[in-house]
Amino acid sequence: MSKHNFHTLLSRYRSGECTEREKHLVEQWFSMLDENISERSKEENEQLEEKLWKAIQERKELARVKPSRFTSGWKWAVAAVIIMTAAGWAVYLTLPGTEQAIGAETAMLPHSTSVSPMEKVSTGIGSKTVILPDGSEIRLSPYSSVAYSSSFDGDKREVLLAGKAFFKVVANPGKPFFVYSGEIVTRVLGTSFWIDGSNPARSIEVSVVTGKVTVSKRSEADFVPAGPVKGGVILTANQKVKFSGKSDLFELGLVEEPVPLLPEESEMPAEESFIFEDTPIAEVIEKLENAYGIEIILENDALKGCLFRGDITRQPLFNKLDLLCSAGNATYEIRGTRVLVSGEGCPAAGFHTGPQKEPVN
Amino acid sequence: MALIPGNVDEETFEAIYREYWLRLYDFALAKVHDPDVAEEIVQDLFVNLWEKRKGLRVTNLSGYLFVAVRNRIIDHYKQRLFSDLETVDAVTAPDYPLFLDELENEVKQAMGRLPDKTREIFMLNRLEGKSVGEISEKLNLPKRTVEYHITQGLRQLKTFLRSVSTFLPLFLASIII
């Protein structure tokens, strides 16, 4: 995917760890970015000069700069996932949010038992890491805002989000964690009951990296979930949901690039290998299902016995499936959160319904 | 022009701002095409300069400032890409080398279209932030000639990229509106 590659290139350039060739490429690309800019009057320039100077002076005064613990978003995200298995859940939330959205809603949030003042954090061109009072972390993408009670002293933890953010939530079943964004509310599961509400909205996406969350619509008048799950969906790792206010539908799917789940007991991701030596496809599929936590259905039994050989350890899941399908004259499609593999089976396997294994002595 | 003490006081800081803000702002604006982002970049740059003032040793102030603004512009594109990505994946994709080849090919073809002189002047202006005056002095050419090369360079690149490039929609989207 060229966006990913482009991001890699720019990251390498900025870290100073790139080759001369990469450096040259970035610099040439950079030289071609220019657009003509519109003329400004002398007055406009003077105004701008003073506006910027004032802003710089203000920021100089309160330059209490918190150094970021991680230098790049990528590193952070990975670290989050690793720590998360032990500590809680991760959610990736996306919505076309705005400053105003959160501004208008902030006033509504301290509805529960909390009387603490609201904290609000917004980003401009940069990302920010926000540490919540309970130790949970939010990686706030550019042009996004969050608001939350400064003490989290109610019986639940509530955060308002406009924009895009990556959440790493510390588990605390006694104090469920909610994220309100646009028309939906996402609850990090500890216990499970829920209520929904309805409002016309733009589409909002929630993707889960690790753990389990519920996503439902927000009620009109209230933030508090007070009944059983209604119209909400449960998401586990590698699944995402898109909510469109217009159609009022939750559309379940898989994230674009599923990642293998982390083993529960370990904090480090085990580099699981996917090397197969004439292995029946059914076994390969089973291994993939377990590794990614995604259900893969073989439509036709004839496929089960097709043999697969190859090292697909480093391929993304969907490339793995492409390779697998080509070995079994099959195709796959994503149906909701499941993958359906269909095809007539491979000629070599013929009528064999069972796996072809060498005799074991 | 080319001096900055190891320790910048308020007065020097303001003088640097007054002298450079406009060129830095216009440079950023031309690259990011968004006044708000350009403003934020310039603010960031100066706040950062102030915070680092004690340990700063810079022999070429203009060069330092333009490298700093360039880095921030690249960071802006990087972050925009990052927020566009849907998945969290730290691994360099297997097709990264191929991507580099293709990008290089595109850039080379585009740049290769430019006459040597135009390319040299274009790069000095667009990459290093050198003003027309500076380039004219450096290369001993009339200002009008320098201006001509810059406009020509930009026009030719755009025409070429519009007509030929099929790859890297993002690369193009950042150039052509």
Interface contact A33-B21, CB threshold 8 A:
no
Closest CB to A255: pick one of B37, B81, B86: B86
For residue A85, is pLDDT > 50?
no
**Between A356 and B105, residue with greater pLDDT:** B105
Interface contact B175-A2, CB threshold 8 A:
no
- Residue whose entry in the numeric block shows the structure tokens 């080849």: B101
User: For A57, which residue in chain B has the nearest alpha carbon?
Assistant: B47
Q: Which of 104-123 (B) contact A at CB < 8 A?
A: 104, 107, 110-111, 122-123
Closest CB to A259: pick one of B75, B89, B93: B89
Kindly give, in sequence order, each residue whose CB lies less than 8 Å from that of residue B125, ignoring residues fewer than 6 positions away.
B131, B132, B135, B146, B150
Predicted pLDDT of residue B17: 94
All domains of chain A, ordered by start, with CATH?
73-254 (2.60.120.1440), 275-343 (3.55.50.30)
Q: Give the N- to C-terminal CA distance of chain B in Å, as an integer.
A: 35
Distances (CA, A) of B93 to A4, A311, B81: 8, 16, 15
Q: Are strands A212-217 and A157-162 parallel, antiparallel or unpaired?
A: unpaired
For residue A95, is pLDDT > 50?
no
Entry field: residues in chain B: 177
Chain A residues within 8 A of B106 when measuring between CB atoms: none
Q: Which of 49-88 (B) contact A at CB < 8 A?
A: 50-51, 70-88
Q: How confident is the model at residue A74 (pLDDT cuts 50, 70, 90)?
A: very low
Report the 10 Å Cβ neighbour count for A241: 26
Separation between Cα atoms, residue A244 and residue A250, nearest integer Å: 7
Say if CB B46 and CB B28 are below 8 A apart: no
Q: How confident is the model at residue A219 (pLDDT cuts 50, 70, 90)?
A: low
Note the ipTM here: 0.82
Average pLDDT over residues B73-88: 76
A128 to chain B, minimum CA–CA distance in Å? Answer: 12
Residue A125 DSSP class: S
B100 conformational bin, left if phi > 0, alpha if psi -120 to 50, beta if neither: alpha
Q: Is B159 on the interface with A (CB under 8 A)?
A: no
Q: How confident is the model at residue B143 (pLDDT cuts 50, 70, 90)?
A: very high
Q: How confident is the model at residue A91 (pLDDT cuts 50, 70, 90)?
A: low
Structure-block tokens of residue A230? 């209604």
Task: Specify the range with the lowest mean pLDDT, choosing from A108-117, A141-150, A162-171, A295-304.
Answer: A108-117
What pLDDT, in 10s, does the model give residues A317-349?
Answer: 888 898 888 877 888 888 888 888 888 776 654
Domain residue ranges of chain B, discontinuous segments joined by +: 10-84, 96-173
What pLDDT, in 10s, does the model give residues A231-258?
Answer: 567 777 788 777 766 666 777 888 877 8
Q: Are strands A204-210 and A233-236 parallel, antiparallel or unpaired?
A: unpaired
Q: Is A52 on the interface with B (CB under 8 A)?
A: yes
Interface contact B79-A127, CB threshold 8 A:
yes
Domain B10-84 is of which CATH architecture?
Orthogonal Bundle (1.10)
Task: Specify the range with the lowest mean pLDDT, choosing from A63-72, A290-299, B37-46, B108-117.
Answer: A63-72
Average pLDDT over residues A125-133: 82
- A186: closest CA among A221, A160, A220, A151? A160
Q: How confident is the model at residue B176 (pLDDT cuts 50, 70, 90)?
A: very low
Say if CB B51 and CB B10 are below 8 A apart: no
Closest CB to A31: pick one of B25, B122, B168: B122
Residue A331 phi, psi (nearest 5): -130, 160
Structure-block tokens of residue A18? 């790139």
Interface contact B78-A11, CB threshold 8 A:
yes
Report the 10 Å Cβ neighbour count for A152: 21
Interface contact A4-B89, CB threshold 8 A:
yes
Which uninterrupted H or E stretch holds B120? Answer: helix B116-126
Say if CB B45 and CB A84 are below 8 A apart: no
Q: How confident is the model at residue A271 (pLDDT cuts 50, 70, 90)?
A: low
Q: Which CATH fold would you assign to the domain B96-173?
A: Arc Repressor Mutant, subunit A (1.10.10)
Q: Is A202 on the interface with B (CB under 8 A)?
A: no
Mutant choice from A32, A50, A62, A323 vs B, greatest count of B C-beta within 10 A = A32
Chain A residues within 8 A of B29 when measuring between CB atoms: 37
A209 to chain B, minimum CA–CA distance in Å? Answer: 8
Average model confidence (pLDDT) across chain A: 69
For residue B18, is pLDDT > 90?
yes
- A124: closest CA among A159, A94, A163? A163
Chain B residues within 8 A of A142 when measuring between CB atoms: 79-80, 83
Structure-block tokens of residue A1? 């995917």
Predicted pLDDT of residue A150: 76
Q: How confident is the model at residue B39 (pLDDT cuts 50, 70, 90)?
A: very high
Q: Is A301 on the interface with B (CB under 8 A)?
A: no
Structure-block tokens of residue A124? 């401009």
Report the 10 Å Cβ neighbour count for A2: 18
What pLDDT, in 10s, does the model give residues B115-138?
Answer: 889 989 988 888 777 889 999 999
For residue B89, is pLDDT > 60?
no
B133 to chain A, minimum CA–CA distance in Å? Answer: 18
Interface contact A14-B22, CB threshold 8 A:
no
For residue A35, is pLDDT > 90?
no
For residue A26, is pLDDT > 70?
yes
Interface contact A2-B22, CB threshold 8 A:
no
Chain B residues within 8 A of A8 when measuring between CB atoms: 92-93, 96
Interface contact A60-B175, CB threshold 8 A:
no
B130 to chain A, minimum CA–CA distance in Å? Answer: 12
Degrees (nearest 5) of the Cα angle A193, A165, A185? 25
Structure-block tokens of residue A59? 């920021």
Predicted pLDDT of residue B24: 95
What pLDDT, in 10s, does the model give residues A292-319?
Answer: 888 888 887 778 878 888 888 888 888 8
Chain B residues within 8 A of A94 when measuring between CB atoms: 86
Chain A residues within 8 A of B76 when measuring between CB atoms: 125
Chain B residues within 8 A of A7 when measuring between CB atoms: 78, 81-82, 85
Q: Is B31 on the interface with A (CB under 8 A)?
A: yes
